[in-house]
Chains A and B, each alone.
Chain A
Amino acid sequence: MSSTIVFDAETIPALTEQKPQTPWGRRTGKFRLVVVLAIVIPALIVGSLFMFSTLPGAVIMVAVYFPLQIIATVLAAISVRGTKSAGDAVIIVSAIGATIFSGIVLISLLWSIITKGIQAMSMAFIFQNNEYISPSTPLGYGGIGHAVLGTVLIVGISALIAVPLGVMTALYITEVRGRAVPYVRFFVQAMSGVPSVVAGLFILTVLILTGVLNNSAFAAGLAYSILMLPTVARTAEEVLKLVPEELRTGALALGSTRARVALRVVVPAAKTGIITAAILGVARVVGETAPLLLTALKNDKTVLNPFSEPISALPTYIFTNVAQPYPDAVLRAWGAALALMVIVAVLFTVTRVLSAKRPGK
């Protein structure tokens, strides 16, 4: 092609006036009418059912509104875009339905925790222990102080064990890079599937039934660390991988040993990420109940010695107060649930803030 064709906007006036055509986005009067009908007709039918029938609202929504809305959307789609679009209509309405369903579950959960938990809250409830308190004692006396301390003690012990081991496992995968890397990764994944009750049984059979440890905070911390380690190891591995390879080769070129590269260059560079990994590990275990029921049992007193005697934590406190015949005891369970949820929410927010910062490091 020796001659070039020049499109001059002035010679083709249509080009200056027209936008690119998007036939799929054209909204004709018919389209608008059909969309309005597909929304209004099911709503009208369901609205009249709400007014004139005795069916419960939830039944109307699930058994009448949801199928009706799918049919209406399918008909609307067919009339505008042809039969091929019927599948789209079903998917879109069901996807929105599934999202709303999950949203309702989450809102119901949070709403009941907050509204019921707040009724139990008081300074006494947060700071006192449960000594001399029976399920029928009114709410003004006794509380979760001992359980909060127990949770802090047990989770702290497990973090002291699991965080170093988890970070070292991640260092093996990213820094040492030995031949066993695929196997180590595989075992860590398999370990993340250990049911919490099995972790409790393991500590029970190895250390408690053999008489090495009492039912105590330390035993519970060991059980928790089994659950915490895989989470820490996998998250730490992800963040250590983000450390640029140039930092490692640069340090090596300056004459540093591999050990110094790992401990003085890579780990400090990934500091925020490793803290995130530790917090995620803590959040993973803080509400686990089954291992506590097998290893720490429960105790109404405040216990500070991690080796001496059984100890309560927030999950066991909730567990013992659920299904009590006394309304105040049940409110105690909700109050402890609110306290636990606040702890989880704080940990969750901290990890979000830290990992949002990470790319800038």
Chain B
Amino acid sequence: MSDVEAPVLRDLQSAATSHRGDRIFNRTIAAAAFTALIVLGGITIFLGAQAIPVLQQQGLAFLTTSEWNPPDYGIWGMLYGSVLLAIIALVIAVPASLLLSVFMVFLAPKPLATVLTNLVDLMAAIPSVIIGLWAFYVLAPVSEGWQQLMNQYLGWIPIFQNDSGNFSGTPFTAGFVLAIMMIPIVTSVTREVLGRTPPELINASEALGCSLWSMLRYVALPYGRGGLVGGVMLGLGRALGETIAVFFVLKIVFDPVNYYKIIESGGGSVATLIVSKFGEASGPYETQLLLAAGFFLFMMTLVVNVIANLIVNRTGRLQS
């Protein structure tokens, strides 16, 4: 063996960065790389600056009451409504996405799986305003019929109560639309996570006589648990921030807050509130209220997304 020590790449790099052109290049690129931080910080500071006077004037009631009558404003109903819609969407979209990705990874023949992957990606690319248009004219009438049936046969369950007989603009329809938008996002992550289950483990479990069900239950799902949870939370972040598709199918109601009657007309969503009230905002103060509402929406989605990304990153890098 030779006695000559090869310089490691690190040394080469530091030697190279002593070059003046390189220093300029590195600093320019590093400055550009912090755009993301600047934008996130800017949103926090500038929207936060609008939220402070609102909180001073309205007090905590801005977050805990539900009202939009001058001079009293409160967005509790909207915050709660956003979470309720997201839960409805999760209940529909998570099983659907998991089953869809199980079909694509373990059941479908390879050519069919490729076609389905492309179709799911195409579904993810459909703009939300088009989904909203479709939901308003095609889905909502169908959904009303189904909700009447649910009320007729399952009305004894509290969540399927409906006292008004009005089935339009319900949280259920809005949650369903959100679910349709979440399915491709969640599926693209869960498909990749399930597809990464090591084939040795799958083969070993089959050699031990496991059925598909026990392979999923004891091998694939535990192996990909982190990625699956992260994927669902990424979808949740999207659902909380979605504006336009919900705007067309949800009737915004401040008082009384619709806590659990998901097929009763009327609900809330912070993002939709901002768009629907912005056009008719009566003055700078109402605009400021909407900016404050946007600040709390941003904080809510930021927390969900950061947790989701931490979980996904811990389980290895994924494209999404």
Contact = CB atoms under 8 A, between A and B. Distances in A.
Interface of A: 56, 58-59, 84-85, 87-88, 90-92, 94-99, 101-103, 105-106, 108-109, 112-113, 164-165, 168-169, 171-173, 175-178, 180, 183-184, 186-198, 201-202, 204-206, 209, 226, 229-230, 233-234, 238, 249, 252, 257-260, 262-263, 283, 286-290, 293-294, 315, 318-319, 322-323, 330, 333-334, 337, 340-341, 344-345, 347-348, 352
A337 to B, nearest CB: 5
Given A187-B37, A198-B241, A257-B25, 8 more contacts: A165-B32, A172-B32, A201-B291, A294-B274, A315-B129, A315-B244, A330-B137, A344-B126
A258 B116 contact: no
B91 interface: no
B275 A290 contact: yes
Contacts of A209: 284, 287
A202 B129 CA distance: 21
Using C-beta atoms within 8 Å of the partner chain, give the interface range for chain B: 35 or more
A344 B319 contact: no
Contacts of A263: 25
B30 A172 contact: yes
Interface string B247-266: 01000000000000000000
Interface stretch (B41-49, B61-69, B71-79, B197-205): B41-49
Interface of B: 9, 12-13, 16-17, 19, 21-22, 24-26, 28-30, 32-37, 39-40, 42-43, 46-47, 50, 95-97, 99-100, 102-104, 107-108, 116, 118-123, 125-134, 136-138, 142, 145, 149, 180, 183, 211-214, 216-217, 234, 237-238, 240-244, 248, 271, 274-275, 278-279, 284, 287, 290-291, 294, 297-298, 301-302, 304-306, 308-309, 313, 319
30 contacts: A91-B102, A91-B216, A99-B103, A102-B123, A109-B123, A112-B137, A168-B33, A169-B36, A176-B30, A184-B36, A193-B238, A193-B241, A195-B301, A197-B294, A198-B301, A209-B284, A238-B319, A257-B21, A258-B17, A260-B21, A287-B129, A289-B127, A290-B271, A290-B275, A293-B278, A315-B244, A322-B133, A337-B133, A340-B127, A340-B129
B36 A230 contact: yes
B5 to A, nearest CB: 16
A230 B320 CA distance: 11
B294 A56 contact: no
B40 A91 contact: no
Q: Which of B104, B217, B290 has the most CB of A within 10 A?
A: B290
Given A176-B29, A258-B13, A286-B127, A96 B35 contact: no
A307 to B, nearest CB: 21
B26 A176 contact: yes
A190 B305 contact: yes
A333 B287 CA distance: 28
A205 B50 contact: yes
A180 B33 CA distance: 9
Q: Which of A99, A183, A229 has the most CB of B within 10 A?
A: A99
- Would you list the 6 A-B pairs with minimal beta carbon distance, nearest first? A287-B127, A195-B241, A87-B213, A193-B305, A259-B25, A172-B33
Contacts of B132: 322
